[in-house]
Amino acid sequence: MILVNTRDTLTLADCGILVPVMPKTTDLVLRHLADNTREGERPVWMIGRDETKPTRSDLERAHSPEYVARLLDPYAREREIERTFELITEEGDYHRYDPSSATRRLGELVDKLFDVCGGSMQCMRRALSRGFCFFLGGGMHHGQYDYGSGFCLINDIVIGIRSLQATGLIRTAWVIDTDAHKGDGTAALCADDESIITLSIHMGDSWPLSEPRTRSDGRPNPSFVPSDIEIPVYDGENDAYVEKLANGLEQLDAFPRPDLVVSVYGADPYEHDELPSTATLRLTLEQMAERDELIRQFLRERELPAAYLHSGGYGHRAWEPTAAFLRRRIAEASV
């Protein structure tokens, strides 16, 4: 199934956040997939959002109680959005932020991101019952224990997995993160958690790994906590990507089979991605397809239920790898 959040209307611009406007990747994916559906017919492979939302306890399964309290506080939550989206500089100036152009309160973004997390939780449940579900949203893998980072206020991956564990539906999970940026929040949150095995293949020398190893408060930067299987890909290594991933999957195979796999998809390793920080990884559409089919095949051979979360993908052509991947799933009727 492909899960789509049709209620999602709040934009960053509504809140005065001036991230360069780019077409919304998920809308473009859907428009493209609609070609596979007769006019006027609801696509059989598509489901909408239900009412699933993370509770306070769900949030506290991944984040500190103090941080969760700040996210639930109507004033403190605005400060956390400012930090996560880097809206205020150290000198106190606005950075890509113009409150005077906002028509909605900054804090409303928190509710939107909680709703995204609910989508990821719904996707994981659906994957357990159907074997496969792809959520055109979610994958906020930079969310750390007590702060948000890289536009990821909370870590929906860890929240979703631990909430399923708490209800007894699963005991163990693997996270396969193929977004161009390292899944640093997930790695740090799961470092001492043997029930969640993390694999991340990512740019070895770009954000967040281009940050200092020590934070301004003197504490080590958690972005450098390694995933269980950590696969850095350096500038110029595009042609080695698929082989590196295959080696990583082989290592993953040595761990006991999990009850659920969460795939943090990431369309941003694609060569036409427009986010400047993805410039060192440039996979062709064919290489993206090789990546995606390698993982899909690996999961199918082991009959592992897989919840895919979209995560990154920026610019006018970012929809292409995702649409191609989903078109192949629809064609083989495995959605």
What residues line the site for Zn ion (CB under 5 A)?
A: 179-181, 268, 312
Looking at residue 202, its amino acid is: H
Q: Which residues sit opposite 132 in a β-bridge?
A: 306
CB of 292 to Zn ion, least distance (A): 16
State which residue, 154 or 180, has the beta carbon closest to Zn ion: 180
CB 253 within 8 A of CB 166: no
CB 164 within 8 A of CB 189: no
State which residue, 148 or 312, has the beta carbon closest to Zn ion: 312
Residue nearest to Zn ion (CB): 312
Looking at residue 119, its amino acid is: G
Instruction: Write phi, then psi, for 149 (nearest 5 degrees).
Output: -155, 150
State which residue, 126 or 202, has the beta carbon closest to Zn ion: 202
State which residue, 16 or 148, has the beta carbon closest to Zn ion: 148
| Cα–chain center distance at 75 | 27
Enclosing H/E stretch for 159: helix 156-166
Helices (H), 6-137: 25-33, 56-60, 65-72, 76-84, 108-130
State which residue, 230 or 268, has the beta carbon closest to Zn ion: 268
State which residue, 165 or 311, has the beta carbon closest to Zn ion: 311
Does residue 183 come out as left (phi exceeding 0), alpha (psi in the -120 to 50 range) or beta? beta
CB of 264 to Zn ion, least distance (A): 9
Q: Which of 115, 133, 155 is nearest to 8 (CA)?
A: 115
CB of 263 to Zn ion, least distance (A): 14
Provide the 10 A C-beta neighbour count for residue 211: 13
CB of 268 to Zn ion, least distance (A): 4
CB of 180 to Zn ion, least distance (A): 5
CB of 181 to Zn ion, least distance (A): 4
State which residue, 256 or 276, has the beta carbon closest to Zn ion: 276
Q: Which two tokens stand for residue 72?
A: 């639930």
State which residue, 127 or 180, has the beta carbon closest to Zn ion: 180
Enclosing H/E stretch for 103: none
Q: How far apart are CA 177 and CA 317, in angstroms?
A: 21
Enclosing H/E stretch for 184: helix 184-189
CB of 73 to Zn ion, least distance (A): 29
CB 48 within 8 A of CB 2: no
Q: How far apart are CA 177 and CA 190, in angstroms?
A: 13
Sign, CA dihedral 109-111-112-118, equals positive
Q: Count the residues in the chain.
A: 335
CB of 22 to Zn ion, least distance (A): 14
State which residue, 190 or 264, has the beta carbon closest to Zn ion: 264
CB of 171 to Zn ion, least distance (A): 29
